[in-house]
Each structure stands twice: as C-alpha cells, then as structure tokens.
Structure 1
C-alpha cells in the first residue's frame, strides 16, 4: 500500500538526526558483515516510546569495499517505498565514522530465526508469507521505473507483531531505468538463479526464482539446491537438481508451485 512519507514521527516529534536523539539498548539485536542493528527508542518517560531498528554501518567498510554508490542507492530506494509488506525506512543520518538507517521495528523478529526454531512452516503459514512477499514484489515490479530486490531469503524477511512478512535489506536492489537487464553478480549461493550463474543478465524474473527457493525452504525446511560446496550448489541449480526425497510429507500443490517458480523463463 503506497503512501506519502511523513515529516514527523507518529508522536508528532521530528525524526532523530544524530545518535544522542535516541536511547540505545545495551546490546545490538544482531551483527552482520557490514554493521550492526540496534533497538533504539525515543528518550523520555513516555509510556509507549517509539521504537526503531537502527542499522549502524561503519564508513570504513563502505569505503573499503567501494560501496558508497550502492549504499546511497539503497537509501534512495527505501525512502521511496510505502507498502505494508516492506520494512519502512523512517530516517537516515551520518557522523564522522558511521551511517545510520532508522527503520521500522519488526516486533515478530526474523523469518530466519523462526525457521531455525521450528524447522519448517505449516502450509497455511508458508502460503501466507509467500503471498505477502509476492505482494511486496508486485508493488516493486510495477513501479515506474520498476525495482528489483535481488536478495530474497529468510534472513531478509522480518515479521511484525501480527506475524506478517515484511521484505527488508535493499542493499542489492536496483532500479530498472532505461534498461531491460542488469548484469551485477549478487545474491546468496543457495538462492542464485541460473541466469546469474551464467552471467546472462537478469531482470525481475530473478526475484521470482528466489521466491521459488523461499517457498521450498519454508515448506521443506531446507534449501532445494544445497551442495557440499558452492560449485556443487551452482551445478545443482543449473540442472535443477532437487532431491525428491526432501519433499516427503509436503502437499503436492506447494511443491508444484515451488518447482514451477524455479524455471528459466524470463518474464
């Protein structure tokens, strides 16, 4: 669902513009290669202070890996997005050493953590999350110009307090402006599409391939193409080497949807 960006937060006060405009938890929510995510709140004694998930990214890493342009693109894209199944970027600022992205706080945690805990989802829950992320992609792919995410996986899907899926982490996303295909090699090995491995260029069909892998992982409890090495995984992807024994007990319609999505078609 699209909507205009608000100039002030829900409490009527301005968005934070520096670190001291927020109270920080004692420990980060999580750490990744390019930084940390912290739970932050509005200072004061309000009974229900606003909560944000703040991504803290060292500038030294951005510069070391020549990611300045990519970082700016992520911020620009996320600022433009308003959809119920996409994590919202509320504010961003920087100081001498870090870039800070203040995002909507997902009270339900992450899909990856939930999958790790329960092993696999019920068919109803998998169908719900599949539909919700597809709805987010429909919004992205029908913008003008369209946006492709390029890194859909459980680690990049968060859950709100009602356990509804929200697509996050637009670090590898890009805008399809005046081009039909992109050529950047990006993504996670288990989720790579054949055209990415072959270097043939890709478009929004890449996201749909990743949705097929995601659906499979949600209902089966493991990646369809995982090998003992990245080379083995890529070989499995190129020959659609999905072990049917992985699917025991999986409802045929769910398996068929995953298999049909995992195709070479360019849309």
Structure 2
C-alpha cells in the first residue's frame, strides 16, 4: 500500500487505523525535522455526523493546550483527504501498555490516573466532555519521561455541568450505563469511563468484559455488581475511588470535585510547577518558624513542604536539577527529624512532671494497671475508662506502641500501628455518647491522626532511591 504524499511532510509508516481515519508517522520536511503523527481522513467516507465530529475535534484542539492532552500542530486538506498533524507519542497507547504488562501495579495506575485527572480537570474548566475515554485513546510519551496524554476528541463536545444530552457517543465497553440505556446523561459519563480504565489497569480486563454487545448490554441493564478478582489486593483508598467511579446511577457516582480531591490521586501534591512554588513558600515559612524557636510549627511546615517536593523530585528528568533538588530535600528531612527529636524529648520531660504532680494528689492512680509512666494523665484516665468497651483498650495500646516506634524513627511500623489503632477508635468515637470519656477519646484520636499524617510525610521521604538518577526514564516515573 502506497503512503500519502503532501508537500510539507514525508510519510514514514502507518501506525493506526480508526473508523474513518488512518494515522501515519511522518516527519516535517523543514528544519528542524520534527517527527509527528498525521491523521488522514478520506472525505468520501464521511457522513454528516462524521463531518460534524471532525469539525468539533479540530475546533477543540485549536484551543486545548495542556501537558496531558495531545497537541494539534496543524491541519490542512486536499481534494481527497483532510489531514490533522498531531504531536507524535512514541510510547503507543495505554491499551497496548496494559497488554504488555498484563496488569499494572497500584502505584503505576495512580501515576497514570493522576495525569488523566489533571487533563480532565483542565477539560472541565473549559466545559468540555471527552465522551470517548478508553485506553486506546490515552497515548504515552516515553521521552523525556513516561507521560500519558488524552487524544482523539472526535466525540468530544461542550457540555456545561448541568447540561444533559441524549445522543449515543463513545465505545460500548467504556460507555456509561445512562448512555447505553438511552437515558439522559451529563458530563459525569467521563467518570464512569475513568472507572473502567482504572479497573482495566489494575486487573488487566474491563469489569464487564463480554463476547458481544448484547451480553454487555444485558450486564449493564441488570446493574450487575462490580466484582473485584478474588486473588487481587488493592489498598482501601484505591478500592474506594474505583467503586465510587463505577456507580450505575450517575447521581450516586463520585462528583468531579470529589474525584479531583480524592486521597488516592493526591492531586494536591502533583508534580506541577505551581506546586513547586507552593513548596518553596512552605519551606521559607518553616525556616522562619525554626529561627523563632516555634518548633512544632516548623516541623509541620517542613513536613508539608516535603509532601510537595518528593513527587517533584521523582518526576524530575534533568539530572543536574534532580541532584540539586535531592540535596535540598535531604536537608529538609534531616532538619525535620532533628526538630522532631527535640520536640519528643521536651514532651516526655513535661509529661513526667505532670505525672509526678498528679501522683502526689492521687496516689491511688499508682495502683492502676496503666501504660508506661511517660504517658499523659489524660491517656491514663482514658485507658482506665476504656475497659468497659470491647476493643478500645487494645486499640489504645497499639496507638501507644506507634508513638514508641515513631520516637525510635521506625516510621513504617509507626504508621501501620497508628492506622490500625485509629481504624478501631474512629468508629468507636462515632458511637460514643457525650461525656468525659468521649472528650478524652476525641482528644486522643485527633492527636494520633495528626501524628499519623506527620509520620506519613516523613515516611515518604525514605522511599527516595539515591540511585534514581541512573535509572531509565520509564523506571524513574514508575518507582
């Protein structure tokens, strides 16, 4: 088969085929010789709806400029064809990536979903609904780092948050139930598609994999529950987001606002330029608090800054900038840990003084089966009051063990124990009637929730691989 011929481009090979277009790899003849992808559309095969879709796609791509959206470089036409010149994505598409890997680790899935969410956030800000999100339309760039980009806006349209449509658009396997069942729908259809993509990334297949359209339609119509493979394990946050996206009823589906704010994605700390400036501002405040001897505030600010810096460090591809940033991050980690130790030693001294005074006033407390003498009086009282409720005293003991691991610098075990303790105490707090025990329990839960968050912030810094600069670009992104 001969390749098309146009004045400004040399066609190299066919790299894809769609319903009414063929995509070629090409190179621009002018200097510099840029490699691009050209979608070639045969005019004679276009129906009126296909022409409308093509015009919409071109008009949208003229204005949509985002790091995670495939960029249109040019468009032109001749007697037989319409050509759309796009940036060339050298990593293929997400569908082939999943097939090659069979299924993706949760951290890789998070990375791709975070990038997809950033693109969707930009689309929603411009009132655009993609309408055909699927792995085949999510393209990958290998260089300078593995990056996901949303492509193929042939079915996209402007859709305000409250606006509804009836027209069937998209690919059946990734199509929201309300479209498939010919109900009214709105922009939330994109969120269902994201859920199907997420499921396929995690488990290597779609939740409603079927042998025919009729079989798929029946599963959707019957609202069959989404089942996770029995042999698989995903974190609670990952599972929560997945099942929140795959709600058949759009009114029960997670909203875009909650999707962008979900803890699994953590868009708040995404490696973008805006967050670099935010991290720098936090560090400046931390240094100021440190100089003013406001130790606890300085610890909090250093730790919060590190939550922004770590993703930026992992994502950095320039080796010189990466090493400079790594050096700064290590300094902040070291200082945060020094302040943490100072703070812990001070708190322990203060608590011992409080315990001594309390024991002088209430000697009978010495006979209680209490925890270590370094714990506060309020904790001792709470522990004594916890004996009447199943599981509470055990959870308090686990929480105290977490504090000890934290003081020893064993952040991984400390976080595990904090989470285990809070997993019992938080539901108990929700059922606790008003009174002294509830006040004490609320205070302890708040204290440990803050400690768990600080532990998580310090723990993530331990995951930085000092040899990352020598790894491949793909490994850098996927660590």
- 1:216–1:255 CA contact under 8 A, matched in 2: no
- 1:62–1:68 CA contact under 8 A, matched in 2: yes
Q: Deviations over 1:218-254 (max 9, x none)?
A: 0010010122321221222244425636252231432
Give TM-score, length-normalised by structure 1: 0.85
SS of aligned partner of 1:218: helix
- Counterparts of residues 124-163 of structure 1 (less than 5 Å): 124-143=107-126, 146-161=127-142, 162-163=145-146
Q: Could you say if the C-alpha distance between residues 179 and 69 of structure 1 is closer, same or farther in structure 2, counting changes exceeding 3 Å?
A: farther
Greater relative contact order (Cα < 8 A, sep 6+) = 1
SS of aligned partner of 1:134: helix
Partners of 1:157 and 1:234 lie apart in 2 by: 24
Structure 1, unpaired ranges of 5+: 1-17
Q: Deviations over 1:199-231 (max 9, x none)?
A: 222111000011011100000100101223212
SS of aligned partner of 2:37: strand
Structure 2, unpaired ranges of 5+: 256-479
Q: 1:196 aligns with which of 179, 192, 203?
A: 179
Partners of 1:178 and 1:229 lie apart in 2 by: 33
Shift of 1:198: 2.3
Partners of 1:151 and 1:142 lie apart in 2 by: 18
The residue aligned with 1:87 is 70
Structure with the largest fraction of helix: 2
When structure 1 is superposed on structure 2, of 94-103 and 194-203 the one drifting more is 194-203
When structure 1 is superposed on structure 2, of 231-240 and 77-86 the one drifting more is 231-240
Q: 2:36 aligns with which of 42, 52, 71?
A: 52
Q: Could you say if the C-alpha distance between residues 203 and 178 of structure 1 is closer, same or farther in structure 2, counting changes exceeding 3 Å?
A: closer
Partners of 1:235 and 1:255 lie apart in 2 by: 25
- Counterparts of residues 1-267 of structure 1 (less than 5 Å): 19-25=6-12, 27-43=13-29, 49-63=33-47, 66-143=49-126, 146-161=127-142, 162-176=145-159, 180-242=163-225, 244=227, 246-253=229-236, 254-263=238-247, 264-266=249-251, 267=255
Partners of 1:178 and 1:244 lie apart in 2 by: 30
Partners of 1:165 and 1:178 lie apart in 2 by: 25
Partners of 1:247 and 1:208 lie apart in 2 by: 25
Higher Cα Rg: structure 1 or 2? Answer: 2
SS of aligned partner of 2:39: strand
Give TM-score, length-normalised by structure 2: 0.49
- State the number of aligned residues: 244
Structure with the largest fraction of strand: 1
When structure 1 is superposed on structure 2, of 100-109 and 193-202 the one drifting more is 193-202
Q: Could you say if the C-alpha distance between residues 179 and 240 of structure 1 is closer, same or farther in structure 2, counting changes exceeding 3 Å?
A: closer
When structure 1 is superposed on structure 2, of 241-250 and 209-218 the one drifting more is 241-250
Partners of 1:103 and 1:231 lie apart in 2 by: 36
Tell me how large the CA RMSD over aligned residues is.
2.0
